Amino acid sequence: MSKKREISEIFKSVQEDDRLLLTEFESKNVLINWGVPVAETRLATTELEAVDAARDLKYPVVMKVSSSDVPDKREVDGVRVGISSEIEVRQAFEDLRLNAKSVYEDADIKGVVVQEYLSEAKEVVIGVIQDPSFGPTVTFGLGGVWIEVLQDMSYRLAPVSEEDAEEMIKEISGYPILSGAGGESPVDIDGIVEIIKKISEIPMEFREISEINLSPVFAFEKGNGACVVDAQIRLKEI
């Protein structure tokens, strides 16, 4: 099956489930099929699957509740970082599901995702929104605490060329944070450019997409690329 066909099948499955919002796991599978670098992530529907996934990915790991009915996992205390033992995996599996249910009683909990733990990096956010006049529009900005402090974003109509993607990165006020201000190591700008470019292509190929939100994307030191840590895709209403 071709990569495009696999993505179409994911969207079809979501629509047949009468949903618009993809889970993180589904969203990441779309990105993987489009060649976007993504943190390795497994879906676990049982404690045993979670334990096996954590063992395969190597401790420590990150665990997050998986449900399209929970739009913000942190709102429901649905994330655990630095899980380092089987006992912690088993406890987190139960806690994450119960925490989500305590806020969204009717939520359809698919399980939990177990994700590889990545080293520290600068956080950026990349997305696609639908402009009522111009259509798919790509967004870029700093992530983490900086998105609240600076609140500056750059925008381009999709699809975006490598040159446009580089301009998007350089024109935000927070660019010095990425380029090595204050003696810090610069991040891999080329890695961010590649993700922006690839993300901008997806809504042009798949018109059923309404929004894409990659938050955060980890931008590592120059030469080490960038990687999507969390992703959410929303489809248009039919």
Cis peptide before 203 (omega within 30 of 0): no
The reply to whether 83 and 175 lie within a common domain is no
> Do 81 and 107 lie in a common domain?
yes
Distances, alpha carbon 25 to alpha carbons 103, 114, 128, 174, in Å: 21, 10, 18, 30
Q: Indicate if 129 and 61 belong to the same structural domain.
A: no
- Give Cβ neighbours of residue 179 (< 8 Å, ≥ 6 apart): 186, 187, 189
99 and 132, same domain (yes or no)? no
Tell me how far apart the alpha carbons of residues 175 and 187 are, in angstroms, rounded to a whole number. 10
Answer yes or no: do 213 and 110 share one domain: no
**Cβ pair 208, 176 in contact under 8 A:** no
pLDDT at 148: 63
Looking at the 3D structure of the chain, how many domains does it have? 2
Domain of 181, CATH number, reads 3.30.470.20
Q: Do 71 and 98 belong together in one domain? A: yes
Tell which of 116, 137, 154 closes a domain: 116
Q: Are residues 9 and 109 in the same domain?
A: yes
Which of 116, 135, 159 terminates a domain? The answer is: 116
Task: Tell me the average pLDDT of the chain.
Answer: 95
- Asked if residue 149 has pLDDT above 80, the reply is no
The reply to whether 83 and 141 lie within a common domain is no
Domain span at residue 72 reads 3-116
214 pLDDT band, cuts 50/70/90, is very high
| Res. 150 pLDDT band, cuts 50 70 90 | low
Tell me: do 133 and 193 sit in the same domain.
Answer: yes
Q: pLDDT for 196-206, tens place per residue?
A: 999 999 999 99
Same domain, 103 and 148: no
| CATH value at residue 22 | 3.30.1490.20
The pTM of this model reads 0.95
- pLDDT on residue 238: 75
Looking at the DSSP assignment, which residues form a beta bridge with residue 62? 81, 115
Same domain (yes/no): 126, 64: no
Domain end (from 49, 83, 116): 116
30 or 2: which carries more pLDDT confidence? 30
